[in-house]
Amino acid sequence: MAKVMIVYASMTGNTQEIADILGEELEKYDIEVEIEECINVEPEDLLDYDGALIGGYTYDDGQLPDEFVDFYEDMAEVDFSGKVCASFGSGDTFYDEFCLTVDLVETRLKEQGATVPVAGLKVDLDPDEDDVERAEAYAKTYVDTLLK
């Protein structure tokens, strides 16, 4: 059975809700899922899993969440080769840098050798029905690569 860790940072609960939706979807494919806040894990912990989904919200006009900065920076010290990873998060389309955290995480994962089979999932504020459908499709694409 494949194992995936979902790591997230969430202030309002929106990104946590996305993490939960993704976790439930992955479990439909018989994947063992662990969901943790970024302050409770280190990037090296992800090496114990077949893959990871990493999520965070974008604060203000394109800033990483304060509680996520250390995790993000420490990702640069980990070789994710052989791991299937992807990014997700929430933001507010009011700002020019909508969901920049998702893009930064995706780029960092690729730089560190991860296989990133799906573009980052970006959600405007809290997930609605359309976002849930997009999350399901995102999870399916992710799983297709993970289980190859």
User: Which CATH number belongs to the domain containing residue 45 in this structure?
Assistant: 3.40.50.360
For residue 22, what are the contacts with CB-CB under 8 A and spacing of at least 6? 6, 53, 88, 121, 135, 138, 139
- The total domain count for the chain is 1
DSSP conformational letter for 120 = P
The whole-number average pLDDT for the span 117-121 is 97
pLDDT at 61: 82
pTM for this model (two decimals): 0.97
In terms of pLDDT, which residue wins out, 92 or 60? 92
In terms of pLDDT, which residue wins out, 6 or 59? 6
Q: What is the extent of the structural domain holding 6?
A: 2-147
- Model confidence over 73-96: pLDDT tens digits? 999 999 999 999 999 999 999 999
pLDDT at 59: 87
Name the one residue in this structure whose structure tokens are 């250390």. Answer: 70
Which phi and psi angles does 15 have, rounded to 5°? -70, -35
- Model confidence over 23-58: pLDDT tens digits? 999 999 999 999 999 999 999 999 999 999 999 999
